Amino acid sequence: MNTVITGGAGFLGSHLCDALVCRGDSVLCVDNLITGSRKNIEHLLNMPNFRFIEVDITHDEIEKHLPFVPDIIFHLASPASPQDYIRFPVETLRVNSIGTEQCLNLAKRAKAKLLFSSTSEVYGDPLISPQKETYWGNVNPVGPRSVYDEGKRYGEALVMAYHRLYGLKTYLPRIFNTYGPRMRLDDGRVIPNFISQAMLGKPFTIYGDGKQTRSFCYVDDLISAFLVLVETDYHLPVNLGNPDEFTIIELAEKINSITGLNLSCEFLDPLPDDPKQRRPDITLARKILGWSPVVNLDEGLRRTLNHYLEKK
C-alpha cells in the first residue's frame, strides 16, 4: 500500500509510521514539525520504503511532493495536547479545517481512503458517562479548548460531507487519551508531566481537586485499532480508547507505586472547561473491529517510564 501520514513525526504518527514501514507499505510522512519532531522518525530515514517531507499542509500542496498515488491517507496532523493547542490556536483550527480539506481533495483525486483522527474532545465536558458515539457532546464553542474541540467537530463534518457527496471511503476514529513512548515530556499532558516530575523527584502537579477522571490507552493498542478500522467499510465515528477509568489522584498514586517513590501532590487552580469525566464506551469498536485494548495502565506506564529512563 502507498500511504500518506500527515503528522507522521508526531507521537501517534511516528508509531503509525513504524507499523506501516514494518509491514512493507511505502510511507510518505508529512509534518511541519511545530509539535512533531525529526527525532521520532530518525530511525526510519534510511529505510527504502520511508520518506519524510517537512511541509505545512495548510500552506503547501502535498500533491506536489508525492512520490506515488496514495491508496490511503492518515490525517493525524494537529497539535493534540491542551497546552499545545492553546499555544497554537489558529494553526490548530487551520490544520483541522483547511488541512482536512486538502487531504480530502487528494483522497478524492487519487481514489484513496482517508482516516481523520478525531477525538473524545468532541464530547467536551460530557454530561453522560461512559460516552457513546451517539452522544452529541457538551462543548463550549468559545472557550480556550474550543480551537481543538470545534476544529475536530468541523473536521468530522467535512469528512462526512465528502463521504456523502463523493462516496469517499472515510474513517472517523474518536481517540481517547493515548500515551506511550515519544510523547514530549514537556507537552503538558498529565502522563508526561507526572513522568518528568517522578524523574526529577518533584511533587505531582494536579489541576483542581484531582477527582476528574480519564481513561488512558497505550499507543500500541490504538495503532492496532487503526489498522483494523481501515480494512472495514465503517464510516461513522467510532470510539477508540481504554475504558479503564482513573481519577488523576489515582494516576499519581499508580506512578508512585510503580516507581517506588512517595511523591506528594501539589494542587493548583483547575483549568478552564477541563472535562470532569471521560470514559469511552467501546461496544461499537468491539463489535465492528473485534478489538479491545490489551495493555493495562500499570504495564503501559512501566513501558513508558522505561523508554524515558533509557533515553536519560
Give the residue among 11, 5, 8, 4 at the shortest CA–CA distance from 187: 11
Q: Which is nearer to ligand UDP, 13 or 82 (CB)?
A: 82
Supply the minimum distance, in Å, between the C-beta of residue 154 and ligand UDP.
18
SS3 162: helix
Q: Which is nearer to ligand UDP, 92 or 193 (CB)?
A: 193
Q: Is-catalytic flag, 148?
A: yes
Supply the minimum distance, in Å, between the C-beta of residue 82 and ligand UDP.
5
Supply the minimum distance, in Å, between the C-beta of residue 26 and ligand UDP.
33
Supply the minimum distance, in Å, between the C-beta of residue 124 and ligand UDP.
11
Calpha distance 295→286 (Å, rounded):
15
Amino acid 185 reads L
Which positions lie near ligand UDP, rule CB under 6 A? 81-82, 177, 188-190, 193, 205-207, 212, 214, 248, 271, 274
Q: Which is nearer to ligand UDP, 4 or 139 (CB)?
A: 139
Q: Which is nearer to ligand UDP, 42 or 274 (CB)?
A: 274
Tell me the CA end-to-end span of the chain in Å, nearest whole number: 36
Q: Which of 148, 162, 171, 218 is catalytic?
A: 148
SS3 296: coil
Question: 76: which DSSP letter?
Answer: -
Calpha distance 257→177 (Å, rounded):
21
Calpha distance 99→105 (Å, rounded):
10
Residues marked active site are found at 148
